[in-house]
Structure 1
Amino acid sequence: MPTTRFPRFLTGAALALFSLVIGLGATGALAQEGYRTLDTPQSTDTDEGRVQVREFFSYGCPHCSDFEPVLSNWTADNADRVEVIHTPITFGRDSWAVLARAYYAADALGILDQTHRALFDAIHDEGRRFQSHDDVAAFYASVADVTEAEVMDALNSFAVSSSLNRAERLAQAYGVRGTPSVGVAGRYLVDVREAGGQRGMLDVADSLVADELGDG
């Protein structure tokens, strides 16, 4: 790995100043990283004065479980300037496909407020596994005002299947490589690792939103 060598004449305060300049330069470089520009921008449909922010996640992802309250707070703080859309993806995993379908079923039934955090908690705090539609239907009926039959109908509906297929296409179009990831304005993908963590990911998203709104 390359190392930075300081000139011998730099000592004391001069060396400290030189180090500060190097450090600031490195910070600036990192600020330019953390996101990629999409080769083909994706269409967005948001109100004027707001920017679409799309979270790619899975209920099966422990990092997404940790990120959910962080993103929820950020969304509330920025409600006047962003529209956050949750997009569950599968990476080809059958177990994640069940969970992605569960998200869209809850959305169709209007019960996401009751199920979204509850499903994360059931998986990551209680160790529950959701391997079938029956598992999801029984759980939703226990935490929301719906019947198992209603949940099963939603899980197997054409609308939910269409939403799931569109989510998979979007994940490919954005080039999502891991979860959670955040898309901004249909033009950028913010990667949690490249951004330096979950807070860093939202800092990068903040900057991109500001640029889109002309506030940057």
Structure 2
Amino acid sequence: MNEHPIQRLLALLAMLLAIAAGSTITQAAAPFQKDTGYNELSARQPVGHPGKVVVTEFFWYNCPHCNALEPELDAWVRTQPSYVVVERVPVAFTAQFIPQQKLYYTLLALGKVDSLQGAVFQAIHEQHIALNTPDQMATWLAAHGIARQTFLATFNSFGVAMQARRATQMMKDYGIDGVPTMAVEGTYEVSGDLPQTPTDERILKAVDYLVGQVHAQQASVR
């Protein structure tokens, strides 16, 4: 016997409500939501390290929020699995930022980022030591075992200048207008400006969530 049109309509409505309810449950189960816990870039940015999940931190040494995040970020980095690659990108919103961009890439070239990244933040924010010019930086680093001439030669090198320019271009490509901001696989961004990530702990939890999502997607297409 054929169903009455009203019965068919009620069945269709029930099916649509079930689908909507399932969607709501799925969204509610996700700990972070798009536009409130993270943003999705309008255009995916290229990243290296095929098969890995690349996490990028955009920072500025003089930024107090970057300083507050640094200890937790350092501890977080040390717990990441082998498929996660963490890269740091110093920003330059104005030309005054460029010396500190070059400071980071000089430390990277000298193999001193791991040992001195936290110390730079501490010097600026806790010891109130100005590290804004190459001369100030060279003096401070001399006390940390890096010869003045070695620092200045690396700081003024073509390679460091190129890396600083690339960092500024990345900042523009990602649309970074505040720091710290963390990006995942050139696709998602997390910052303290979003309602679900007002604290450093929540920022890193959101990054963890996105890393898990990206890794699962990568695994599904292998």
Smaller-chain TM-score range?
A: 0.7 to 0.9
Distance across 1 between alignment mates of 2:181 and 2:118: 18
Aligned residue pair count: 189
Alignment of 1:91-170 (within 5 A): 91-94=93-96, 96-144=97-145, 146-170=146-170
| 1:71 aligned onto 2:73 | yes
Alignment of 1:185-200 (within 5 A): 185-194=185-194, 195-200=197-202
Counterpart code for 1:173: D
Distance apart, 1:88 and its partner CA? 0.5
Matched residue SS, 1:183: strand
Distance across 1 between alignment mates of 2:72 and 2:103: 22
Structure possessing the higher radius of gyration over alpha carbons: 2
Aligned twin of 1:4: none
Gaps of 5+ in 1: 1-24
Report percent identity of matched pairs.
Answer: 29
Aligned twin of 2:184: 184
Distance apart, 1:74 and its partner CA? 1.2
- For residue 41 of structure 2, the aligned residue among 23, 38, 42 is 38
Distance apart, 1:67 and its partner CA? 0.6
TM-score (norm 1): 0.80
Distance apart, 1:62 and its partner CA? 1.1
Distance apart, 1:27 and its partner CA? 9.2
Kept in 1: contact 2:32–2:206 (CA 8 A): no
Counterpart code for 2:210: L
| Structure 1 residues 171 and 118: CA distance shift in structure 2, 3 A | same
Distance apart, 1:150 and its partner CA? 0.8
Gaps of 5+ in 2: 1-26
Listed one character per residue, the Cα deviations across residues 28-74 of structure 1 (whole Å, up to 9, x for unaligned) are: 696332322122211111252x3000000011011111111111111
RMSD: 2.1
Aligned twin of 1:203: 205
